[in-house]
Amino acid sequence: MSERDGIFAGDDPIEIARRWLAEAEKSEINDPNAMALATCDADGMPNVRMVLLKEIEDDAFVFYTNYEGTKASEIEGAGKAAFVLHWKSLHRQIRVRGTVTREDGPQADAYYASRSLQSRLGAWASEQSRPLSSRGALMAKVAKITAEKGTAPKRPPFWGGYRILPTEIEFWADGAFRLHDRFQWRRKTAEKGWEISRLNP
């Protein structure tokens, strides 16, 4: 039996990530695709927040956000980000680090159109990360945007996706007596092949 049989089996970390997420979708009560996204500002000060992973492509992880918020500013400045998916129900997590590119074409349009009308209008109304005088002011802006944009608003030019191309993926599974199992896939660039290592817990 090889070291990476069972839940760690396979040589493509993207496929393993898809498999783990599919399992989590059956057991996690809320948002199995919720991930803690980490970025750094120009001074190297880290930031982390929860976002929703919307797609695992053949070589990237995709999420969507406002391009004028703090996270986008930090992503654009560094060109890099990291995230962790953690599932209590499975006692597993996936950590990813990599470079980031925008997804602001037809794929972003299609995802935006698939969201509820309220979420689409909310994307127009929110000046993400900037000061807000009150919730009432936000709701008034939503009402104004609704009157202006109607029931089929186009995707805002300041809202779209980011694609994280991993250079490092780590799979972690809880082990007895805190002797966890950890396997790490690493590559220097997205064009290089993966090197796989077992890590100490």
DSSP states of 11-63: S-HHHHHHHHHHHHHHH-SS-TTEEEEEEE-TTS-EEEEEEE--EE-SS-EEE
The two tokens of residue 166 are: 């991993």
Choose the catalytic residue: 102, 178, 186, 187. 178
Using alpha carbons only, give the angle 27, 171, 85 rounded to the nearest 5 degrees: 50
Q: Is 163 a catalytic residue?
A: no
Q: Which of 60, 72, 65 is nearest to 98 (CA)?
A: 60
> For the purposes of burial, counting CB atoms within 10 Å of the CB of 58, is it exposed (0-12), middle (13-18) or buried (19 or more)?
exposed
Identify residue 124 by its one-letter amino acid code.
Answer: W
**Interatomic CA distance for residues 104 and 137, integer angstroms:** 29
- Say if residues 160 and 103 touch (Cβ distance below 8 Å): yes
Active site residues: 178
